[in-house]
Structure 1
Amino acid sequence: MCSHFSIASMSEINSFLRELNLPVVNANDDPSNNDEATEIYPNIQAPVLIYQNNQLQLNKLNWGFENPIDKRKPPIFNARIERFYEAKPSMWDQAFAQQRCLIIAARFYESHPTETVKSAKTGRSMKRPYQFKLADQDLFFIAGIYEADHFAMVTTEPNEAVRPYHNRMPLLLEPAEIRTWLFQNFTELVNRPTISLDIRPAE
Structure 2
Amino acid sequence: MCNLYTLRTSAAEVASLFGAAPPLATNSPDETVPGHPGLVVRELEGQRVVQSMTWGFPLPQKSKRSGQPIKPLPVNNVADLAKPMWRGIAPKPRWRCIIPATGFAEAEGEPRRKTRTWFSVKDQPIFAWAGFWRESVEWGPVYTGLMTGCNEAVRPYHDRMPVLLHPDEHDRWLQGDMDDVIGFQARRYPPALIVVERTSELWIKRAGAAQAGAESRWL
TM-score greater than 0.5 by the shorter chain: yes
Q: Distance in 1 between matches of 2:35 and 2:144?
A: 11
Q: Which runs of 5+ in 2 are unaligned?
A: 63-69, 136-140, 202-219
Deviations 1:54-100 (A, max 9, x none): 211111110011104556232111111xx22x4xx510122211211
Query: What secondary structure is seen at the aligned counterpart in 2 of 1:61?
Result: strand
Q: What is residue 184 of structure 2 aligned with on the other side?
A: 189
User: How has the CA–CA distance of structure 1 residues 19 and 147 changed in structure 2, closer, same or farther, with 3 Å as cutoff?
Assistant: closer
- Read off the aligned partner of 2:2 and give its amino acid letter: C
- Read off the aligned partner of 1:78 and give its amino acid letter: N
User: How has the CA–CA distance of structure 1 residues 72 and 16 changed in structure 2, closer, same or farther, with 3 Å as cutoff?
Assistant: closer
Native 8 Å contact 1:5 1:40 kept in 2 = yes
Q: Distance in 2 between matches of 1:193 and 1:54?
A: 28
Indicate which of 164, 169, 184 corresponds to 1:172. 164
| Same amino acid, percent of matched pairs | 27
Report the Cα offset of residue 181 of structure 1.
Answer: 0.9
Query: What secondary structure is seen at the aligned counterpart in 1 of 2:143?
Result: strand
User: How has the CA–CA distance of structure 1 residues 66 and 16 changed in structure 2, closer, same or farther, with 3 Å as cutoff?
Assistant: closer
Query: What secondary structure is seen at the aligned counterpart in 2 of 1:182?
Result: helix
**Is the counterpart of residue 145 in structure 1 residue 132 in structure 2?**
yes
Q: What is residue 120 of structure 1 aligned with on the other side?
A: none
Q: Distance in 1 between matches of 2:50 and 2:90?
A: 19
Scaled by the length of structure 2, the TM-score of the pair is: 0.74
Q: Distance in 2 between matches of 1:133 and 1:175?
A: 14
Native 8 Å contact 2:61 2:71 kept in 1 = no
User: How has the CA–CA distance of structure 1 residues 143 and 19 changed in structure 2, closer, same or farther, with 3 Å as cutoff?
Assistant: closer
Query: What secondary structure is seen at the aligned counterpart in 2 of 1:108?
Result: strand
**Is the counterpart of residue 14 in structure 1 residue 1 in structure 2?**
no
Q: What is residue 53 of structure 1 aligned with on the other side?
A: 45
Native 8 Å contact 1:101 1:146 kept in 2 = yes
Native 8 Å contact 2:107 2:114 kept in 1 = yes
Q: What is residue 98 of structure 2 aligned with on the other side?
A: 102
RMSD across aligned positions (CA): 2.3
Q: Distance in 2 between matches of 1:45 and 1:19?
A: 20
How many residues align? The count is: 181
User: How has the CA–CA distance of structure 1 residues 50 and 97 changed in structure 2, closer, same or farther, with 3 Å as cutoff?
Assistant: same
Report the Cα offset of residue 19 of structure 1.
Answer: 4.7
Report the Cα offset of residue 193 of structure 1.
Answer: 3.9
Q: Which runs of 5+ in 1 are unaligned?
A: 117-123
**Is the counterpart of residue 130 in structure 1 residue 128 in structure 2?**
no
Query: What secondary structure is seen at the aligned counterpart in 1 of 2:78?
Result: strand
